[in-house]
Structure 1
Amino acid sequence: MEFGYWLPVFGGWLRNVPDEGMDTSWNYIKKLAQKSEDWGYSLSLIAELYLNDIKGQEAPALDAWSTAAALAAVTEQLEIMVAVRPTFHNPALLAKQAANIDLISNGRLSLNVVSSWWRDEATKYGIQFEQHDDRYARTSEWLDIVTSVWERDHVTYNGKYYKVEDNVLQPKPARKPFIYAGGESEAAKTMISTQCDGYVMHGDTPEKIGERIADMRRRREALGLPPMKFGVAAYSIVRDSEAEVKAELDRITNVQASAAGYDNYQQWLAGTQLEQQVSLQDYSVSNRGLRTGLAGTPAQIQDRIAAFEAVGVDFFLLQCSPQLEEMERFSDSVIKAFSAEKQQTA
């Protein structure tokens, strides 16, 4: 099992706490990323949004791609998973940019491909906003071009959305970046099973996650493609007693519809196709992280992780607040103990 985390490019993850003690700054995320390597975390996901989805549209948000390039130069082991939205990037140009960052990092770059959902953001930045299935059709072409120019030269492509003529991309990446994506609609799952290497999922129970993994495995096997990696989003709360866990849950889930990011949340619901309804409590933290259930004592969380591992989960993408303090606590209480137990049984 690997443990990753979301880089706090929005200054936090809680909808109802204006100041989480996490600066929206390069200095904070540089310190966090460098310490995370010592704490046993193996990857960091950098979300790509030009407006702040958590704290409100006028709050600061760091750019994903310049941040990724900077982190590539100041870390040594961390997989740098950068979210990318095809509607915001020409595929051949992004492939060039990504290849360079991969070389800076010595082969540690990966992509998390996201089909855009936020109409207001697209409008404010002059980007065309497309309907759900059209976005996935565009993404499929986009991925064809990106992977082709990474693998060979003199690429020509004529599609509905993109055209490339005799493209030569040099230097190539140190290795072909791993491609992740997430989504619960049929359009998303079809694209992911045919064109991606990993499937990342919103938080949910081991049973629900196991069903999604089994479905994706069936799709891959039917296509004769190699196995995928599977990751799950989670919000972590580690405390010594259940009473302390409950107190923290009460603190972070009293969000109201007046919160600064609530309108963004409504647009997200309108622009996605989900398998289950989302509650206001789910909205309190992003990506349905509380549903995963990594809130408890160290022993309870270790048991929960084992349940996810049993259904095929390979890694978690954690959120917590305040992040430096809580990531160190999770490392000391869970990651180190989990790793020691695995070594003893190996």
Structure 2
Amino acid sequence: MRYGYWAPVFGGWLRNVADEREASWENLSRLVRRSEETGWDLTLIAELNLNDIKGIEAPALDAWSSAAALVAVTSRIELMTAVRPNFHQPALFAKQAANIDRISGGRLALNVVSSWWGKEAESYGLQFDQHDDRYARTTEWLQVLNSLWSRSRTDFQGRYYTLADAIVEPKPVSTPVRPRPVIYAGGESEAAKTMIARHCDAYVMHGDEPEHIAPKITDMKARREAFGLPPMKFGMAGFAIVRDSQAEAERELERITTIPGLAEGKPPSGFANFDQWLAGTELERELKIREYSVSNRGLRPGFVGTPETVRARIEAFEAVGLDLVLLQMSPQEEEMDRFAAQVIQPTRPAG
């Protein structure tokens, strides 16, 4: 199993806890550098210009300038940086990402996200496509990106993008094991899964129980084989609470999932954004109000308990084919250190 975490570009990941650390370069860079020392494999740098967790007026760090800065102060960790095609012209992005990948020595990865937040796109004067149109745009965007990274010159005529004799040099780092930056993507609609199986390298899922993750992996493996492409990797979001006893972990779970003001009809500002997300995406299982507290269905996997309980739970996901967990936790630095010492390091060879 590989272990990744969500970088604190919004300061923290809990909607109900106001006193998490601020969103700042100092906090971000310190945490990522520390994570290399303690054995984490990957960090996901989310891309939103408005803060979806703490409220739209709260600070939110830019994903791509943060990623470029992080490659200069790290040496080992993979930097999976989110990118939304309607926010980035593909040819210019291909040049930018190739340069960052070169600087990092081949540690850049992409998390391609077909935008769901209409309010944000409207605020910034950008095109916001409806559901299937989003995946049609993303498909074209990925075709352009792959051509620019693999061919000397690219001509492209599509519905969304047109290129004539475009050149990207130098190209990203390419090896037999990693011919291009790994492209991760997630989605649960038919349009999303078809696009990901055909054009991406890894499928990332919202958190769920092993018995629900297993058929999703089986389905995507079959789609991939039908295209005659190499096997994919599989990742899943989660939220981890590791304590010395199950009772301690459950008390912390209760604390972070209590929504202030909801009973009085005065929910926090981010709750309206959660409502819009529910209305704007196709979900295979009904979300519960508790999942407002922790994004990406992070509590469903059950990474809450003692180190032994959490390690056993992770083994259950590994048994059904999961390769990567992408974790949130809070307070992030302290909890990541605890998780690394009690969950990651005992499963790794000494030295």
TM over 0.5: yes
Partner of 1:141: 140
Which of residues 300, 303, 308 is equivalent to 1:291? Answer: 300
The total of aligned residue pairs comes to 340
Question: Deviations for 1:169-227, whole angstroms, at most 9, x for unmatched residues?
Answer: 11111131110100001010000001000000100001111110010001111111110
Which of residues 219, 226, 239 is equivalent to 1:222? Answer: 226
Name the structure with the higher helix share.
1
**C-alpha contact (below 8 Å) 1:56/1:260 kept by paired residues:** yes
Partner of 1:25: 24
Partner of 1:240: 244
Partner of 1:157: 156
Partner of 2:177: none
Distance in structure 2 (CA, Å) of the matches to 1:168 and 1:219: 32
Q: Which amino acid aligns with 2:341?
A: D
Identity of aligned residues (%): 61
Distance in structure 1 (CA, Å) of the matches to 2:73 and 2:146: 27
Which of residues 201, 206, 209 is equivalent to 1:202? Answer: 206
Partner of 1:62: 61
**Is residue 305 of structure 2 the alignment partner of residue 305 of structure 1?**
no
Distance in structure 1 (CA, Å) of the matches to 2:155 and 2:275: 40
Aligned-residue RMSD, C-alpha: 0.9
Shift of 1:255: 1.5
**C-alpha contact (below 8 Å) 1:15/1:260 kept by paired residues:** no
**C-alpha contact (below 8 Å) 1:255/1:280 kept by paired residues:** no
Distance in structure 1 (CA, Å) of the matches to 2:198 and 2:171: 23
Residue 300 of structure 2: SS of its match in structure 1?
A: helix
Partner of 2:76: 77
Distance in structure 1 (CA, Å) of the matches to 2:254 and 2:160: 47
Distance in structure 1 (CA, Å) of the matches to 2:335 and 2:46: 20
Partner of 1:131: 130
**C-alpha contact (below 8 Å) 1:46/1:82 kept by paired residues:** yes
Partner of 1:337: 346
Partner of 1:15: 15
Distance in structure 2 (CA, Å) of the matches to 1:97 and 1:43: 20
Q: Which segments of 5 or more consecutive residues in structure 1 lack a partner in the other structure?
A: none
- Which consecutive segments of 4 or more residues in structure 1 shift more than 3 A? none
Distance in structure 1 (CA, Å) of the matches to 2:346 and 2:220: 31
The normalised TM-score by structure 2 is 0.96
**C-alpha contact (below 8 Å) 1:103/1:173 kept by paired residues:** yes
Shift of 1:260: 2.0
Partner of 1:269: 278
Partner of 1:317: 326
Which shows bigger deviation, 254-263 or 290-299? 254-263
Residue 14 of structure 1: SS of its match in structure 2?
A: coil
Distance in structure 2 (CA, Å) of the matches to 1:233 and 1:239: 20
Residue 82 of structure 2: SS of its match in structure 1?
A: strand
**C-alpha contact (below 8 Å) 1:179/1:198 kept by paired residues:** yes
Distance in structure 1 (CA, Å) of the matches to 2:108 and 2:344: 23
Distance in structure 1 (CA, Å) of the matches to 2:259 and 2:92: 40
Q: Which amino acid aligns with 1:16?
A: N
Residue 197 of structure 2: SS of its match in structure 1?
A: helix
Question: Deviations for 1:239-275, whole angstroms, at most 9, x for unmatched residues?
Answer: 0001101100010001154022111111111111110
Question: Deviations for 1:264-314, whole angstroms, at most 9, x for unmatched residues?
Answer: 111111111110110011111111100011111000011101100000000
Residue 287 of structure 1: SS of its match in structure 2?
A: coil
Distance in structure 1 (CA, Å) of the matches to 2:27 and 2:19: 14
Q: Which segments of 5 or more consecutive residues in structure 2 lack a partner in the other structure?
A: 175-179
Distance in structure 1 (CA, Å) of the matches to 2:200 and 2:328: 24
Q: Which amino acid aligns with 1:18?
A: A
Shift of 1:23: 2.1
Which shows bigger deviation, 170-179 or 256-265? 256-265
Residue 290 of structure 1: SS of its match in structure 2?
A: coil
The normalised TM-score by structure 1 is 0.97
Q: Which amino acid aligns with 1:118?
A: W
Q: Which amino acid aligns with 2:232?
A: M
Distance in structure 2 (CA, Å) of the matches to 1:201 and 1:122: 24
**C-alpha contact (below 8 Å) 1:240/1:298 kept by paired residues:** yes
**C-alpha contact (below 8 Å) 1:10/1:24 kept by paired residues:** yes
